[in-house]
Structure 1
Amino acid sequence: MPAGLVISAPASGVGKTTLTLALARAWRNRGLHVQCFKSGPDYIDPAFHAAATGRASVNVDSWAMDRGTIAHLVGRGTDADVVLAEGSMGLFDGVAARGVSGTGATADIAEMLGWPVLLVIDPSGQAQTAAAIAAGLRDYRAGVRLAGVVLNRVASPRHEDLVRRALNDAGIAVFGALPRHAEISLPKRHLGLVQAEEQAEIGKLIDEAARFVAEHVDLDAVLGSAASWSPQPAANGMNVTPPGQRIALARDAAFSFIYPHMLEAWRAAGAEISIFSPLADEAPDASADVCWLPGGYPELHAGTIAANARFRGGLRAFADTRPVHGECGGYMVLGTALTDADGIRHEMTGLLGLETSFAKRRMHLGYRLAALAAPMPGHQIGARLRGHEFHYSTIVAQPDTPLAVVHDATGAVIAETGSRRGLATGTFFHLIAEDR
């Protein structure tokens, strides 16, 4: 029977991902089968999980998904020895208004699945106060159980001793304390961690993290704190309609932000996926009946995209007769132009009139609920789609027919409506699930 555990923290940037990867690899090195999940809408971390465990990881999201969908997704952990769900932000951080089965908080998943929480605490600049924070998190919400704490970035043995004593006095188990160790820091950029597939040395970094954590953390005690878990049969699967029978999917360093569970759902529904690389100047498969451009980092590769005539011409020819859809970065590339962070304007494919700029960055972040005012691949007029938007681009022009009426998690209407022109459509949000 698998043992389930949630890895969370009081805030972002404390070391959840590093600890999750280290534990997963350390237990895998002991011969255990480890399955990871990501709580919340982060589309980068699952690739790191897969690198650490050798098993695909997916997102589970209480704002966008119902309990049946979450049960279906976590069911892949049935044959594992250990199941780890890495949280997003702080343990109780979500949106103000409840979504499908919660607010998007990691605590929702912990309570729903009955898995205890392993807290990562960074006590930098404090000592006994770290225990007060941990105790507050432990007692904040009935139904969420604390397994214990791993301290990260402790400054010295004396610092560790002060924090340990306070946590012990509060009745909170301390499974280990990690000194600062630059060799296991994961590189970042403006949308989060640099993607796993862009890091040639990611395997060595995870191995070093596993070695370091095994040296400083009681792995047996952590494993013993996990809850025995018997997955319940899911009442339903993803219930996703693929955008087409054969999907030409852009996939490279500029186009990689798509939720793994969506690709799995498309394949499970019988769709075939044909991968092509715009950065390698490849055109979409001529035998496909729909083309999908995910988000990613087109702003870092705008010059290459603008110069790749075969890709741009092939995409335009494809869109003459078949649907093309872009999400976030893919939407920007479907537009007329993209101005990069240096103020250089690059011509994009021109399938839509959208023009965006990174010259003056402004963060757009949050859940989105869209009611389609026009059809898009896989979804008809009136469909309600749940997704998440995260980018730093500014809209210079968005002249085409709006694709949807889009609300944020509070119900407020937002300006990023998406666009439709001919057979081309695009949205700034990344699709997570269809509202039922």
Structure 2
Amino acid sequence: MAAGLVISAPASGVGKTTLTLALARAWRDRGLNVQCFKSGPDYIDPAFHAAATGRASVNVDSWAMDRGTILHLVSRGRDADIVLAEGSMGLFDGVAARGVCGTGATADIAEMLGWPVLLVIDPSGQAQTAAAIAAGLRDYRPGVRLAGVVLNRVASPRHEDLVRRALVDAGIAVFGALPRHAEISLPKRHLGLVQAEEQAEIGKLIDEAARFVAEHVDLDAVLRSAAGWSPQPAASGLNVAPPGQRIALARDAAFSFVYPHMLEAWRAAGAEILPFSPLADETPHASADVCWLPGGYPELHAGRIASNARFRDGLRAFAETRPVHGECGGYMVLGAALTDADGIRHAMTGLLGLETSFAKRRMHLGYRLAALAAPMPGHRPGARLRGHEFHYSTIVAQPDTPLAVVHDATGAVIAETGSQRGYVSGTFFHLIAEDR
């Protein structure tokens, strides 16, 4: 029987990912099979999980996915010794309006699966108040159970002692305290952590994090705090249709934001994925019946994309007879032009009229519910798609036929409708699931 544990915190930036990776690697080094998941729509952390555990990690999301899909996804942990679900933002942070089976909060997953929560608390600038915060999180929502706390970035032994005493007095277990340790800081950029595949030293960094955490955290006590768990058969599986039978998938440093469960769903439905690299000036495979350009960092590689004539000409030729779809960064590359952060305008493929700019950055972030007005690969007009948008680009022009009526999680209509022209379509949101 596996044991399940959720790793969360009062807020973002406290150290959830580092602790998750460290625990996973430390237990793996002890011979345990460790399975990780990511609660919420973060498409970067699962690759770090896989690097730490040697097992593929996927996202689970209570706003976009139904209970059956979530149970189906987590059932891959049935042969593991310990299953870790890393949360997003703060424990109870979600959207105001309930989605399919929750608000997207990590607490939804903890309650649904019956797994206790290991809190990461950063007591910088406070002492006993950290215990008040932990106690408030423990008592905020019936059905969410607190396993205990790991303190992160404690300033001194005296600081640790003050916080520990207050937590123990509040009846909260303290599994360990981590001093500040710059050597295990994960590098970041504007959309989150620098991706695992871009970091040649990621294995060494995770090893150092595991060593450091093993020195300061009672790994056996944390393991004992996890809940015994036997996954139940799910009534339903993944609700994601493949966009085609043979899918040409752009995949490199500029096109890398792909939810792992999407690729698994496509393969499970019998589709074949044919990766190609626009940055290497490659074209979609001639035998593909659809091309998919995921999001990523085209703004960091705009000059190179603009100069890769073989890629651009090949994609244009492909789009004359077969569907092409782009998500976020992929959508921008399908457009007419992209202006980078330095104000330099780069011509893109011109398959759509979209123009975007990073010269004046503005964050666009949140869940999206789209009702398709036109077809897109794998989905008919009228389909209701759930996804998530996160980018800093500004729309300069979006002249083509809108692909969908798009609402945010509050029900408000937003301007990022996506576009459709001929066989080509694009959205700013990353698809997570279609409503059943």
Fold equivalence (TM over 0.5): yes
* 1:170-215: CA deviation from partner (whole Å, max 9, x where unpaired): 0000000000000000000000000000000000000000000000
Q: Give the whole-Å Cα distance in 1 for the aligned partners of 2:381 and 2:432.
A: 18
Cα separation, 2, equivalents of 1:306 and 1:324: 18
Aligned partner of residue 278 in structure 1, secondary structure: coil
Q: Is the 8 A contact 1:267 1:273 kept in 2?
A: yes
- The 3-state SS of whatever aligns with 1:279 is coil
Deviations 1:307-366 (A, max 9, x none): 001100100000000000000000000000000000000000000000000000000000
1:106 aligns with 2:106: yes
Superposed counterparts of 1:160-171, under 5 Å: 160-171=160-171
Alignment partners' CA distance in 2, 1:237 and 1:101: 15
Contact 1:299 1:358 in 2 (8 A): yes
State the distance in 1 between where 2:339 and 2:234 align.
Answer: 46
Q: Secondary structure at the match of 2:356?
A: strand
CA distance in 2 between partners of 1:224 and 1:287 (Å): 52
Report the 3-state secondary structure (helix = DSSP H, G, I; strand = E; otherwise coil) of the residue aligned with 1:258: coil
Task: Answer whether contact 1:2 1:77 (CA < 8 A) is retained.
Answer: yes
Q: Secondary structure at the match of 1:35?
A: strand
Identity %: 93
* Match in the other structure for 1:300: 300
Deviation sequence 1:124-163 (CA, Å, 0-9, x none): 0000000000000000000000000000000000000000
Q: In the alignment, is the contact (CA less than 8 A) between 1:28 and 1:34 conserved in 2?
A: yes
Q: Secondary structure at the match of 1:317?
A: helix
Give the match for residue 222 of structure 1: 222
1:189 paired residue number:
189
Structure 2 Cα separation of the partners of residues 435 and 397 of structure 1: 30
Q: Is the 1:335–1:353 Cα contact (8 Å) retained in structure 2?
A: yes
By how many angstroms is 1:239 displaced?
Answer: 3.1
CA apart distance, 1:236:
0.9
CA displacement at 1:268 relative to structure 2: 0.2
The whole-number CA distance in structure 2 between the counterparts of 1:158 and 1:214 is 21
Shift of 1:78: 0.3
- Rounded Cα–Cα distance in structure 2 between residues aligned with 1:225 and 1:161: 22
What 5-or-longer segments of structure 1 have no aligned partner?
A: none
Are the counterparts in 2 of residues 11 and 90 from structure 1 also a CA contact under 8 Å?
Answer: yes
CA distance in 1, matches of 2:311, 2:178: 48
User: Take 1:369 and 1:306, find their aligned partners in 2: how far apart are those partners?
Assistant: 32
Report the Cα distance in structure 2 between the residues aligned to 1:159 and 1:208, rounded to whole angstroms.
24
| Structure 1 range deviating more: 202-211 or 238-247 | 238-247
Find the aligned partners of 1:215 and 1:314 in 2 and give their Cα distance. 54
- Decide whether the 8 Å contact of 1:72 with 1:236 is kept in 2: yes
Aligned to 2:88: 88
| Contact 1:148–1:175 (8 Å) recurs in 2 | yes
SS of residue paired to 2:365: strand
Q: Which digits, 9 at most, give the CA deviation of each residue in 1:270-329, with x for residues without a partner?
A: 000000000001001010000000000000000000000110010000000000000000
1:205-246 deviation per Cα after TM superposition (whole angstroms, max 9, x unaligned)? 000000000000000000000000010100011132210000
Task: Say whether the 8 Å CA contact 1:152–1:178 is kept in structure 2.
Answer: yes
| 2:389 counterpart residue number | 389
* CA-CA distance at 1:115 after TM superposition: 0.1
Q: Map 1:115-130 to 2 at 5 A.
A: 115-130=115-130
Determine the C-alpha separation between the residues in 1 that align with 2:92 and 2:322: 44
CA distance in 1 between counterparts of 2:310 and 2:220 reads 55
The 3-state SS of whatever aligns with 1:285 is: coil
- Mean CA deviation greater in 229-238 or 394-403: 229-238
Shift, 1:407, TM fit: 0.2
Pairs aligned (count): 436
Q: Is the 8 A contact 1:150 1:175 kept in 2?
A: yes
CA distance in structure 1 between the partners assigned to 2:120 and 2:214 by the alignment: 15
Whole-angstrom distance in 2 between the partners of 1:65 and 1:119: 25
Deviation of the 1:258 alpha carbon? 1.1
Name the structure 1 match of 2:134: 134
Deviations 1:112-133 (A, max 9, x none): 0000000000000000000000
Q: Which contiguous aligned blocks of 4+ residues in structure 1 show a shift greater than 6 angstroms?
A: none
d(CA) in 2 for partners of 1:435 and 1:133?
37
Between the aligned partners of 2:197 and 2:153, the Cα distance in structure 1 is 27
> Aligned partners of 2:187 and 2:314: how far apart in 1?
35
Q: Distance in 2 between matches of 1:376 and 1:350?
A: 18
- Distance in 1 (alpha carbons) for counterparts of 2:365 and 2:178: 32
Question: Do the aligned residues in 2 keep the contact of 1:387 with 1:430 (CA within 8 Å)?
Answer: yes
CA distance in 1, matches of 2:52, 2:301: 28
Gaps in structure 2 of 5+ consecutive residues: none
Counterpart Cα distance in 2 of 1:50 and 1:66: 24
Q: Is the 8 A contact 1:283 1:311 kept in 2?
A: yes
Instruction: Tell me the residue number matched to 2:322.
Output: 322
TM-score for the superposition, normalised by structure 2? 1.00
Whether the 8 Å CA contact 1:245–1:289 is kept in 2: the answer is yes
Q: 1: distance between equivalents of 2:113 and 2:95? A: 20
Q: Distance in 2 between matches of 1:36 and 1:304?
A: 35
- Is the 8 Å Cα contact of residues 123 and 130 (structure 1) preserved in structure 2? yes
CA deviations 1:38-90 (Å, max 9, x no partner) are 00000000000000000000000000000000000000000000000000000
Partner Cα distance (2:240, 2:6) in 1? 27
Residues of 1 paired with 2:84 and 2:392: CA distance? 31
Is the CA contact 1:10–1:121 (under 8 Å) kept in the aligned structure 2? Answer: yes
* Structural RMSD (CA): 0.3
TM-superposed deviation, 1:8: 0.0
CA distance, structure 1, for counterparts of residue 240 and residue 214 of structure 2 = 41
Is the Cα–Cα contact under 8 Å of residues 61 and 70 in structure 1 kept in the other structure? yes
CA contact (8 A) 1:418 1:426 kept: yes
- Contact persistence 1:240–1:269 (CA under 8 A): no
Q: Residues 380-401 of structure 1, C-alpha deviation per residue, up to 9 Å, x if partnerless?
A: 0000000000000000000000
Inter-partner Cα distance in structure 2 for 1:316 and 1:268: 29
For the 8 Å contact 1:6–1:110, the answer to whether it is kept is yes
Equivalent position of 2:148 in the other structure: 148
